[in-house]
């Protein structure tokens, strides 16, 4: 992912690229991909899981640094 994104989106700001990397590496993209084609409850669950994964990743990262 980190090797392809700069080539596909060379003018996208680094803050956006970092967000894309975080979504991909912390499992949020899998949760969204698996749940967003389902019912309303499945979509809501997928978003909650994605947010939880990202939140946990950033809290852990901030606490370690």
Please tell me the pTM assigned to this model.
0.59
**Integer Cα distance of 54 and 58 in angstroms:** 6
Handedness of CA 42, 43, 47, 50 (dihedral sign): positive
Q: What is the pLDDT of residues 13-63, one digit of tens each?
A: 877 777 777 777 777 878 888 887 888 998 888 888 888 888 887 776 655
Which residues, 6+ apart, have CB-to-CB distance to 38 below 8 Å? Answer: 46
Q: Where are the domains of the chain?
A: 5-64
Written as one string, the DSSP assignment of 46-58 is HHHHHHHHHHHHH
Task: Tell which wins on pLDDT, 26 or 65.
Answer: 26
Which residues, 6+ apart, have CB-to-CB distance to 9 below 8 Å? Answer: 17
Amino acid 58: pLDDT: 74
């Amino acid at each position: 992912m980190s090797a392809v994104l700069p080539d596909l989106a060379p003018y996208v700001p680094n803050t956006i690229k970092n967000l894309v990397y975080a979504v991909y590496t912390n499992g949020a993209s899998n949760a969204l991909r698996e749940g967003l084609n389902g019912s309303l409850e499945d979509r809501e669950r997928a978003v909650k899981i994605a947010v939880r994964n990202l939140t946990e990743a950033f809290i852990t990262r901030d606490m370690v640094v």
